[in-house]
Structure 1
């Protein structure tokens, strides 16, 4: 990050507001994990084990601990990260999202050991024939899938144990997702036919571009893969909040995709674009009490289409923390 660049005057207050919301959420959810919150009441729908989003809640708690410097906040973050341990041996590529973002900002030996253990478990799950870590069976459905949301976090986590596997994982997804005439974010592997495209999520899915751009940004930094700039250019859009599905421009937006994109832009050095996007989020979609609204969990099923989403909160907070110097943009 260019530490000489001026920090927007809204960045610090926005970060304080979002991390203040973390304290309110922690009181409400207790030992459960927040998933999405009603845009009116702010009440959270929670999960017991965290599902694929548990690492973002732990990451938010670590950001708050850095921000406040309070031991009580640090202890809360440590407890939450500890509750992610059971995911290490789960058969799911979303371990990248869970165990990278749940440990990367932690500063304890236990968290570091958990991160390394998770990296080796993911390396062991790498399938050389497929050239990637498959989607897995932990959440049901077909196991031999390649899905774009299985790339972010996993690239950084795998790189700790096997940089070649990490690069292969990313490049196979790039080949599949960007190789057709239109974006395709999910592919199923069947023997002997090979890879076949799936229609869920749809080509216009907002987080498809965002997740892949974030993974490309991390690979460019952690793996030194300079040729990835071309892939990044295919994924870049203007600094605006995208619709949840590009095929339904009149439908809900997805601020969580914008927050992910802002982090990726900062990692890639596109600071002006990132600041413009964050400025739009803060001015138009963040409430006075720090809730990032208008995130869309799943448009097709009508689930939480205009809500506060825990990963949207995390990436917004992380981007603001990078802008204000609380973290280095490559910490997580």
Structure 2
């Protein structure tokens, strides 16, 4: 499924707009079955959504989809919907998890940034204060925390997943203390998890230093999260983060020449995870803006998104032939290329609101609706 480097395979502006429309209409369907809950995931192409009353770490992406939709449509009704979902995230302020940065950057700060929503601004500010209070000067980071899967060792762990969201969330604060904490945390994450362009997904502090918990560069989405975090750090503070970000993007190209990468490089018979390419593309769009001649990285990102949209993992694009039945054909806009642990012993390819948000955001960047550093 390798993608050749030719302009003919890039999505045109017309195709991008058509795909944006499909994803927007998909939001309506998902909303129709939520009953004021938070949609988590739907296995494969089934449209059988698992709904949560609280949303876990994914909840912020549900309001983020509506914030982005209102940005696209200019609809006051869409903005009110986003704001309503945002208010329901307030219960997560006290959860002991660094993944609150996912919830409140995407779920609240984007509402402040794109719509000037006062409640979103207040909620984002409160989340920064709550997260900053968890900063541990001994290990110079905000640890993973015990909730949302962190467990009893979460107080001594650092993870790479939420780095980009945390940097962006804290960048909205005017307090120098918050900026300092964010940079201390970032530097610790790089010391513990970054090695020659590759990322360990987490590390545990013991015997006065961090110890990585996995092999660097193996998990594709973890690598993509890390690249995105570096690009956000580069946008915020410049060097040396820009050099690191460039090296990490080069590492991605070298180790993942296929635009639809395996979930894990050490399991050639395992699942693919196209969502990792979508997240990596967001990093590459940002890197392109930070370099004197970033066009090759913008082209690379455009190629990745084009390949994902044209693949069987996205339902509804008119050139896709993967329509096993009329039910799927009548329910387009499904991006089911997200590898996700649906229970303790099982990973599946699913449709998720975070995957759809990132895909929609990448498309919006391509046509200039949002800026690369806004997501």
TM-score normalised by structure 2 residue count: 0.81
1:261 lines up with 2:280 in the alignment: yes
Aligned to 2:352: 309
CA distance in 2 between counterparts of 1:193 and 1:330 reads 35
CA distance in 1 between counterparts of 2:122 and 2:272 reads 38
CA contact (8 A) 1:145 1:189 kept: yes
Alignment partner of 2:27 out of 22, 29, 33: 22
CA contact (8 A) 2:67 2:110 kept: yes
Aligned to 2:202: 186
Q: How does 1:28-47 map to 2 (within 5 A)?
A: 28-47=33-52
CA distance in 2 between counterparts of 1:132 and 1:193 reads 14
Alignment partner of 2:108 out of 95, 103, 107: 103
Aligned to 1:63: 68
1:218 lines up with 2:232 in the alignment: yes
CA contact (8 A) 2:158 2:202 kept: yes
Check 1:280–1:109 CA distance in 2 against 1; reply closer, same or farther (3 A cut).
same
Question: Once the two structures are superposed, what CA deviation does each residue of 1:256-278 show, in whole Å capped at 9, x if it has no partner?
Answer: 21111111111111211110000
Aligned to 1:155: 167
Unaligned runs of 5+ in 1: 1-5
Greater shift after overlay, 322-331 or 77-86? 322-331
SS at match of 1:111: helix
Aligned to 1:93: 98
**Number of residues paired by the alignment?**
324
Q: How does 1:225-240 map to 2 (within 5 A)?
A: 225-236=238-249, 237-238=252-253, 240=259
CA contact (8 A) 2:274 2:308 kept: yes
CA distance in 1 between counterparts of 2:168 and 2:187 reads 14
Cα shift at 1:163? 1.5
Alignment partner of 1:129 out of 126, 134, 138: 138
Aligned to 1:3: none
CA contact (8 A) 1:91 1:137 kept: yes
CA contact (8 A) 1:61 1:73 kept: yes
Question: Once the two structures are superposed, what CA deviation does each residue of 1:121-149 show, in whole Å capped at 9, x if it has no partner?
Answer: 22222112211110011233312211111
1:292 lines up with 2:303 in the alignment: no
Cα shift at 1:224? 2.5
Aligned to 2:152: 141
Check 1:144–1:252 CA distance in 2 against 1; reply closer, same or farther (3 A cut).
same
1:196 lines up with 2:214 in the alignment: no
Question: Once the two structures are superposed, what CA deviation does each residue of 1:289-328 show, in whole Å capped at 9, x if it has no partner?
Answer: 1111221013995545221122111110111111122222
CA distance in 1 between counterparts of 2:99 and 2:260 reads 25
Greater shift after overlay, 70-79 or 89-98? 70-79
Question: Once the two structures are superposed, what CA deviation does each residue of 1:81-140 show, in whole Å capped at 9, x if it has no partner?
Answer: 111112222211011111001123212111011111211222222112211110011233
CA distance in 2 between counterparts of 1:323 and 1:171 reads 31
TM-score normalised by structure 1 residue count: 0.90
Cα shift at 1:183? 4.1
Greater shift after overlay, 177-186 or 288-297? 177-186
CA contact (8 A) 2:41 2:352 kept: yes
SS at match of 1:246: coil
Bigger radius of gyration among the two: 2
Aligned to 1:113: 122
CA contact (8 A) 1:156 1:166 kept: no
Greater shift after overlay, 180-189 or 38-47? 180-189
CA contact (8 A) 2:198 2:248 kept: no
CA contact (8 A) 1:53 1:97 kept: yes
Unaligned runs of 5+ in 2: 1-10, 289-296, 317-331
CA contact (8 A) 1:122 1:158 kept: no
Cα shift at 1:180? 8.4
